Chain A
């Protein structure tokens, strides 16, 4: 049926030129989306003058390793990459675990004040991060967590979006009968969660994990506020530091660094893009 419908010419079909226009606009949009990535690579692989070449240089050069060598002189690039990897992984593991637990409780348990508490969780989503940033900084100072990864990890260990999203998924994906059956068999609450619910919802957990990993990896404001020592910089701060050198901006060096820093995330995204996009849109639908 549906294939038939596809082939039937619609009364208001666009026609050849209409379609051509559609494709043209879509391809133009895609080119604009992708061009900066290509440009990053072009500048990163060419010599210093390439950025402001007239007409603009659009071919890939062979200076990448020379450029990147200068990155290593200026910054602990791999250290920063490692720091980001560490912080993002810790936060992600924790967020996925705690948000799944909380989402499971909101989806499958009955308890007093449940709806009110859930509304509260959602309401926290609209409060801007900056509103609480000064006292949070003071708390970090009191705890002696300034310039430590704890300041980045601990406050981010669970979040409202994750709870909301896991609840939506668990409500529809985990049959209540399955949980009840587990109870009758005498399983403990956590055991049932771990052995019955978690295997069913792994895709949702993976999506949440990737989305969250990207958010933490790309965060700039909070690490800028709490990190003081060069050795502790995350990759975003390290990249920004490359940009603040006073002795003329070496764009070849900067772009070889941004490219190298972007590549891992890009690869992960391209591998899991289906999940990422699905996760993103299903999060939006219910809002």
Chain B
């Protein structure tokens, strides 16, 4: 074999550049690259830019002007922001906590109460989740109308009508009901799949040891269900903090969008700051605050979920 003299001495002993290993690495990187490219452009870059933007005054047209912490001061001194903040928390709590408990109850019922029709019930409970939030909100806005069905039922029970589309509590109750209706069944199905993953032998041996139903629930079911409870409550918390469509559509009848105080949430506040008022800087500051609140509540959620349910579920291995 006549090799050119200039070839470096290594080359002879080495395999060609595109070895099998290299080739498969390049393939792997190519296969995963679409995500990383798109995420860099439409995920990572915008996140950093939001932080950057939150220190500037900008209307998306004229040049940006550095204002330091001014946007944060403006947002945190705006009473509407704090209303949106407390609304988000109140509606989040009202929509999430009962929803998770109810979902747990439904899942336990579905799991232990019966074997018949289980599939049918799963489908029925999941149906609310596939409907668009806009459609859900429109339907519920008729049910929650002044002369709507809910008030008719309240009157039937001897209670006064409630102003669900304008009252402080009314609006919150209506919106959290929509959230609950949409998500309870979804969460119940996730819990159900968790329940089904618990081996039956555990219950059998517990029964042999003389554990009653309640003891079984607290020392087998709940601890083993913990990962699912954490997943569901975390997802619900994050979802609750991002509440937008329900209040926007429900209170937006006059075409003004949801700037109504009773139901304004942090995301509707952000939306109107940016796309209605053209204050991109304060909107960016709001987004950053929303992000911090989300992280805070996610951590809180993890701590609470970890604290409850006892040590039985904590895996040693």
Give residues in A with beta carbon < 8 Å to B: 6, 10-12, 14, 19, 22-23, 25-26, 29-30, 32-34, 36-37, 39-40, 43, 51-52, 54-56, 98-99, 101-102, 104-106, 109-112, 114, 117, 121, 124, 126-139, 141, 154-155, 157-160, 163, 189-190, 193, 214, 217-218, 220-221, 224-225, 235-236, 239-240, 243-244, 246, 249, 251, 254-255, 258, 261-262, 265-266, 269-270, 273-274, 276-277, 280-282, 284-285, 287
Report how many residues on chain B are interfacial, defined by Cβ distance under 8 Å: 98
Across-interface contacts of A270 in B (CB, < 8 A): 123
Complex Cα–Cα for A285 and B124 (A): 21
Across-interface contacts of B142 in A (CB, < 8 A): 39, 43, 51, 251, 255
Chain B nearest Cβ from A141, distance in angstroms: 7
Complex Cα–Cα for A112 and B26 (A): 11
- A sample of 17 inter-chain contacts (CB < 8 A) reads A33-B124, A36-B143, A54-B152, A102-B35, A131-B291, A132-B46, A134-B287, A136-B42, A138-B49, A139-B41, A160-B39, A243-B252, A246-B255, A254-B138, A270-B123, A284-B190, A287-B227
Complex Cα–Cα for A135 and B291 (A): 15
Check B5 for interface membership: any CB of A closer than 8 A: no
- B239's nearest neighbour on chain A, judged by CB, is A128
Chain B nearest Cβ from A1, distance in angstroms: 12
Check B270 for interface membership: any CB of A closer than 8 A: yes
Chain B nearest Cβ from A193, distance in angstroms: 8
Contacting A262 at CB < 8 Å: which of B43, B115, B131?
Answer: B131
Check B66 for interface membership: any CB of A closer than 8 A: no
Chain B nearest Cβ from A103, distance in angstroms: 9
Contacting B109 at CB < 8 Å: which of A26, A117, A269, A282?
Answer: A26
Across-interface contacts of A189 in B (CB, < 8 A): 23-24, 27
Contacting A101 at CB < 8 Å: which of B34, B213, B253, B274?
Answer: B34
Complex Cα–Cα for A270 and B28 (A): 37
Chain A nearest Cβ from B131, distance in angstroms: 6
Across-interface contacts of B47 in A (CB, < 8 A): 127, 131-132, 135
Check B283 for interface membership: any CB of A closer than 8 A: yes
Across-interface contacts of A139 in B (CB, < 8 A): 41-42, 45-46
Contacting A158 at CB < 8 Å: which of B34, B132, B274?
Answer: B34
Contacting A25 at CB < 8 Å: which of B23, B35, B109, B232?
Answer: B109
Chain A nearest Cβ from B296, distance in angstroms: 13
Complex Cα–Cα for A139 and B60 (A): 11
Which 6 pairs from chain A and chain B are nearest by CB? A132-B46, A22-B113, A281-B193, A135-B46, A109-B28, A105-B31
Contacting B135 at CB < 8 Å: which of A155, A239, A269?
Answer: A239
Across-interface contacts of B152 in A (CB, < 8 A): 54-56
Across-interface contacts of B141 in A (CB, < 8 A): 243
Complex Cα–Cα for A104 and B24 (A): 12
Instruction: Name which of B68-76, B242-250, B305-313 contacts chain A.
Output: B242-250
Q: Are A221 and B244 in contact (CB under 8 A)?
A: yes
Check B222 for interface membership: any CB of A closer than 8 A: no
Chain B window 75-104, contacts with chain A (Cβ cutoff 8 Å), 1 for yes, 0 for no: 000000000000000000000000000000
Chain A nearest Cβ from B154, distance in angstroms: 13
Q: Are B135 and A106 in contact (CB under 8 A)?
A: no
Across-interface contacts of B181 in A (CB, < 8 A): 32-33, 36
Q: Are B252 and A236 in contact (CB under 8 A)?
A: no
Check B167 for interface membership: any CB of A closer than 8 A: no
Complex Cα–Cα for A254 and B38 (A): 37
Q: Are B249 and A240 in contact (CB under 8 A)?
A: yes
Contacting A26 at CB < 8 Å: which of B32, B110, B138?
Answer: B110
Check B275 for interface membership: any CB of A closer than 8 A: yes
Complex Cα–Cα for A111 and B24 (A): 8
Q: Are A51 and B39 in contact (CB under 8 A)?
A: no
Chain B nearest Cβ from A90, distance in angstroms: 14
Complex Cα–Cα for A56 and B147 (A): 10
Chain B nearest Cβ from A140, distance in angstroms: 9
Chain A nearest Cβ from B238, distance in angstroms: 7
Known A128-B294, A189-B23, A281-B193: A269·B127 in contact at CB below 8 Å: yes
